[in-house]
Structure 1
Amino acid sequence: MIEAERRLLANALLDFSNQRFVLLSESCIPLFNFSTIYTYLINSTKNFVESYDMPGMVGRGRYNRKMMPQVSLSQWRKGSQWFQIDRELAVEIVSDKVYFPVFKKYCNGNCYSDEHYIPTLVNIKFWKSNSKRTMTWVDWSKGGPHPSKYNNVTADFLKRLRSRRTCKYNGNTTNICHLFARKFTSQALDKLLSFASTILQFN
């Protein structure tokens, strides 16, 4: 998974005009129009990589002590793979020859590298430029190994996702904390398109 993400970033870095990099899946949708998302990301002084210390089997329990000395347990982090990063961090991820080989060798089986490699790398080397949060909303409220899926969606639901909480952006408080959301199935597409022009302000 991480090798695929690194290849995607490497290919995107070939275009020197690309300054921000967003990882999305086929089940992600935008919560705002392109100009709003572009302005938010391009003017941000931070990267958006979720990175937190999580006790228990799905957090610290996935750490392998053989990763020492490059990665210690106190440096180990978990987070969403759905990142929004700047060019500097993208270059560092693609060119990393210190931490990536360690993860490739020792993060396997029940250790899911897409949830740990970039969060841990950022925590070790780039924490000052990181917001510690992702811009992609996911519903984990039902528990289990996979988030909730949405086959149907309403305009009110999207409105709530757009401004349901507050967070920090460039040192100020804002209610725009998520630019994207998942997991929306293909069955939700027609309903989304029916109010995209009014709610999401798509032309």
Structure 2
Amino acid sequence: MNQKLRVLYFKAGGSPEVQWGKFNMIQAERRLLANALLDFSNQRFILLSEACIPLFNFSTVYNYLIGSNMTFVEAYDEPGPVGRGRYNHRMKPLITLDQWRKGAQWFEMDRDLAIEIVSDVKYFSVFGKYCKGSCYSDEHYIPTFVSVNFWEKNSNRTLTWVDWSRGGPHPTRFIRTDVTIELLEMMRTATTCKYNGNTTNICYLFARKFYPNSLDRLLRFAPKVMMFNS
């Protein structure tokens, strides 16, 4: 069977309505996965937004994902108010504070995990009842669910590069003049990580957030830096 990647395009808004930080973001992600699962040739699923760009050409991305024996859901324990501070004790006994995890919503997963997420009733219901307001379930539901139940196959990292160094609720947004060859090279290879048990400097396949006015410079640099003509 010819294995396929499925890009799940996510943008707040549309029908049904999706609002930033609300539980309906999780509902939308599950609908995207459920729809993509209808095609049995889809084996890997990537959640991206309109502000994401690829850092490598398609063949590199395809081989990296199809050849991986892990899923890529960021899941970590954050002790502070924006991590454990969002936990609701009424989630016990199904979810304890020690099990509570945080991570970027920009996941990549295989078909088996996608099926588990769309068929989940227990964890999804608990989040629907108790992860409200400043809880931001899109940062906690999938990381917690995967960490508790499927941690053996999870890499605990995201494949989407984001700059949080400036602080605040949103990451750095890159405009046209920010886009340089040096920036793109840093995003592509400045980090080391594990891939199928081996150390690699290809840790991120995508990056965000890029404004539309950065497109002309991205297209100019893509053939040389990201090998898009390969």
CA distance in 2, matches of 1:195, 1:123: 38
Q: What TM-score does the superposition give when structure 2 sets the normalisation length? A: 0.87
1:197 aligns with 2:211: no
CA distance in 2, matches of 1:195, 1:163: 16
Residue in 2 aligned with 1:89? Answer: 113
1:16 aligns with 2:47: no
Offset at residue 34 of structure 1 (A): 0.5
CA distance in 1, matches of 2:191, 2:26: 31
Offset at residue 157 of structure 1 (A): 1.1
Residue in 1 aligned with 2:204? Answer: 178
1:162 counterpart (184, 188, 192): 188
CA distance in 1, matches of 2:104, 2:186: 21
Offset at residue 159 of structure 1 (A): 1.0
CA distance in 1, matches of 2:90, 2:188: 42
Offset at residue 201 of structure 1 (A): 1.4
Offset at residue 69 of structure 1 (A): 1.1
1:30 aligns with 2:54: yes
1:101 aligns with 2:125: yes
Offset at residue 68 of structure 1 (A): 0.8
Aligned-residue Cα RMSD (Å) equals 0.6
2:162 counterpart (112, 115, 138): 138
Moved segments of 4+, more than 6 Å: none
2:103 counterpart (67, 70, 79): 79
Kindly provide the CA deviation profile for residues 49-86 of structure 1, in whole angstroms up to 9, marking residues without a partner as x: 00000011100000001111111101000000000100
- The higher-RCO structure (CA 8 Å, 6+ apart) is 1
Offset at residue 199 of structure 1 (A): 1.3
Residue in 1 aligned with 2:150? Answer: 126
Residue in 2 aligned with 1:58? Answer: 82
**Which secondary structure does the structure 2 equivalent of 1:88 belong to?**
helix
Offset at residue 200 of structure 1 (A): 1.3
Q: 5+ unaligned residues in a row in structure 1: which ranges? A: none
Q: What TM-score does the superposition give when structure 1 sets the normalisation length? A: 0.99
Residue in 2 aligned with 1:117? Answer: 141
CA distance in 1, matches of 2:162, 2:124: 26
Offset at residue 165 of structure 1 (A): 1.2
CA distance in 1, matches of 2:158, 2:228: 23
Kindly provide the CA deviation profile for residues 174-199 of structure 1, in whole angstroms up to 9, marking residues without a partner as x: 00000000000101011101121121
CA distance in 1, matches of 2:221, 2:149: 43
Of Structure 1 and Structure 2, the greater strand share is in 2
Offset at residue 172 of structure 1 (A): 0.3
Amino acid at match of 1:188: S
Residue in 1 aligned with 2:214? Answer: 188
Q: 5+ unaligned residues in a row in structure 2: which ranges? A: 1-24
Alignment size in residue pairs: 203
Offset at residue 16 of structure 1 (A): 0.4
